Chains A and B, each alone.
Chain A
Amino acid sequence: MSAQALRVTDLHAYYGESHVLHGVSCHIERGEVVTLLGRNGAGRTTTLRALLGLVSRRSGSVLVNGAEAIDLPTHRIARLGIGYCPEERGIYASLSAEENLLLPPPVAPGGLALEEIYDLFPNLRERRTSRGTHLSGGEQQMLALARILRTGARLLLLDEISEGLAPVIVQALAHTIRRLRERGYTIVMAEQNFRFAAPLADRFYIMERGRIVAAFAASELGAKMPVLHEFLGI
């Protein structure tokens, strides 16, 4: 198996007629945590969606664990071992919390058992019979994360998971991400919240207008602050 979990080359994506990604190239090593940073509308969410084929049209190359995915339908891409946590969390209102948890089918062996997940997210055990959307925002985010850990996916695409959550919940999420990283998961996060992402990621990509405009490692963070100022206004 290829050492790279993900290699994206010259990825273009379109929503209807509008051209939204203009040749994105990036790579994620196995076991890495990488964050896509950028302003609103820079293309972070679109990049994650385009990786899964959730756009009208795309071109370029997307290698997932060494396999070309550019021409595959979305469900086949997921089965290459990807777990996706969408920006709006995607909790199903017509399903209970536990039904939400059990919804995604296994895509690879080695997924967490239900009990392990409940040990990791004790709140979800208490709320298992509640309707998915009756959970608090934090619980819904935990649920969205938990349900892809069941599937055996080792490459997680997490879209804005800290958005709109109380600081104490964001801290708990950061703790969870660290634990996942220790377990060897490969994680790609699209984040607007730099403070949340900075201490978690091994590397950063900065996006602007559907392109990657800068890339650097966590160790370069101090030296790269002027770049961050320029593109993120932080």
Chain B
Amino acid sequence: MSTVLGIPVPVILGQLTLGLVNGSFYALLSLGLAVIFGLMGVVNFAHGAFYTLGAFAALLGLQYLGINYWLALLIAPLAVGLLGVLVERLLLRHLYGLDPLYGLLLTFGLALIVEGSLHQVFGASGQSYPVPEALAGAVNLHFMFLPLYRAWVILASVVVCFSTWFVIERTRLGATLRAATENAPLLQAFGVNVPLLVALTYGGGVALAALAGVLASPVVLVNSHMGNELVIVVFAVVVIGGMGSILGSIVSGLVLGLIEGLTKVVYPEASNIVVFVIMALVLILRPAGLFGRE
């Protein structure tokens, strides 16, 4: 069997593939954070809570309403996105123009409320969501058997991330969003309903988190604190990519997943902290992030 530095190549490839699965979640979540931060300047600490809500929406939808996985992929993000629009309209909008710290504190509080309520109602132990039939089984990659569902997660995430990037960077709607990020009052003076645009953008970013939650529900335990650990890593990813950078958030999400996977092979003890070590280095060497504008 061929080896690199004494480690069998199939092991390396296997961990890289699993790293890419994690990276897919990082990318989806950090993308939403970047879009929200870019337009609104809000550091959305409730992002993990919306991810959790997406997973719960899928789970409860299945248990009580018989909504299947494929429908849940559509409905859960829509429902959570709508909730996001309400949060923006009723709460966040009062904080614009104040120190960004207020938005951070508000969303952090929201996250605690959502998490605590879910914990109260559903308890601490998680439930699992069944893998949809069409995605059961595994593909033989020769170096590993990759569960079909995990391959689907990578595919879905990459398609959604790059579609979002395309919309923002290459369409008229995206041009309007970029303009709002740069100078919103002038855009409104041109007749664009900027408050609505902001609300929908927050809803959209939050819907991405919920989509990640639905995608994750068959591979993790769905419980009240599932978003917790993930969102801390995702914030590190956003800092590394550069706050507000769309492409930066996608690429850093995927690449950091890979790096984490590789670390698991080379020095497993460090795999939980490698992202934060990179974040520290980036903050020292290039504070605006790898893709951010200085």
Q: Which residues of B are found within 8 Å of A151, using beta-carbon distances?
A: 190-191
Decide if B183 touches A75 in the complex (CB within 8 Å): no
Chain A residues, Cβ within 8 Å of B172: 99, 102
Report 21 cross-chain contacts, Cβ distance below 8 Å, ordered by A residue: A54-B185, A74-B185, A75-B189, A75-B190, A75-B193, A75-B194, A78-B189, A78-B191, A84-B189, A92-B179, A92-B182, A92-B183, A95-B178, A103-B175, A104-B190, A104-B192, A105-B190, A105-B192, A107-B191, A148-B190, A151-B191
Q: B189 touching A54 by the CB < 8 A rule?
A: yes
Highest count of chain B CB atoms <10 Å: which of A52, A54, A102, A104: A104
Contact of A78 with B178 at beta-carbon distance under 8 Å, contacts A54-B185, A73-B195, A92-B183 already known: no
* Residue A79 CB within 8 A of the other chain: yes
Query: How far is the CB of A71 from the nearest CB of chain B, in Å?
Result: 15
Most chain A CB within a 10 A radius of its CB, from B172, B181, B190, B194: B190
CB of A26 within 8 A of chain B? Answer: no
Contact A103 B190 (CB under 8 A): yes
Q: Does B228 contact A (CB under 8 A)?
A: no
Roughly how many angstroms separate A86 CA and B187 CA in the complex, as a whole number?
11
When the two chains form the complex, which single residue of A54, A79, A102 contacts B191, counting CB atoms closer than 8 Å?
A79
Chain A interfacial positions (CB closer than 8 Å to B): 52, 54, 73-75, 78-79, 84, 86, 90, 92-95, 99, 102-105, 107, 148, 151
Q: Check if B68 is an interface residue, CB within 8 A of chain A.
A: no
By secondary structure, the B interface counts as: helix
Q: Are A102 and B189 in contact (CB under 8 A)?
A: no
Nearest B residue (CB) for A96: B175
- Cβ-defined contact, A52 with B191, below 8 A: no
B189: min CB distance to chain A, Å? 5
Is the beta-carbon distance between A102 and B175 smaller than 8 angstroms?
yes
Cβ-defined contact, B175 with A99, below 8 A:
yes
B244 to chain A, nearest CB (A): 11
CA distance A94 to B178 in the complex (A): 7
Q: Is the CB–CB distance between A75 and B179 below 8 Å?
A: no
Cβ of B188 and Cβ of A95 under 8 Å apart?
no
For residue A52, give the distance in angstroms from its CB to the closest CB of chain B: 5
Say whether B190 contacts A92, CB under 8 Å. Answer: no
Q: In the complex, what's the smallest C-beta–C-beta distance from A207 to chain B, in angstroms?
A: 21
Q: A104 to B183, alpha carbons, bound, how many Å?
A: 13
Q: Is B139 an interface residue (CB 8 A)?
A: no
Evaluate whether A94 and B179 lie within 8 angstroms (CB atoms) in the complex, with A74-B185, A86-B186 already known.
yes
Report Cα–Cα, A93/B183, bound state, in Å.
Answer: 10
Chain B contacts for A104, CB-based, 8 A: 190-192
Also in contact, A78 and B188, with CB within 8 A (given A73-B195, A102-B172): yes
Partner of A78, one of B175, B181, B183, B190: B190
Is the CB of B271 closer than 8 A to any CB of chain A?
Answer: no
* Distance A104 CA – B189 CA, assembled complex (angstroms): 9
In the complex, A118→B188 CA distance in Å?
Answer: 25
For the complex, give the distance between the alpha carbons of A74 and B189 in Å.
6
- Contact between A74 and B182, CB atoms less than 8 A apart: no
Q: A75-B188, A90-B183 are in contact. List 18 more A-B contacts (CB 8 A).
A: A75-B191, A78-B191, A84-B189, A84-B190, A86-B189, A90-B186, A92-B179, A94-B179, A95-B178, A99-B175, A102-B172, A103-B176, A103-B187, A103-B190, A104-B192, A105-B190, A148-B190, A151-B190
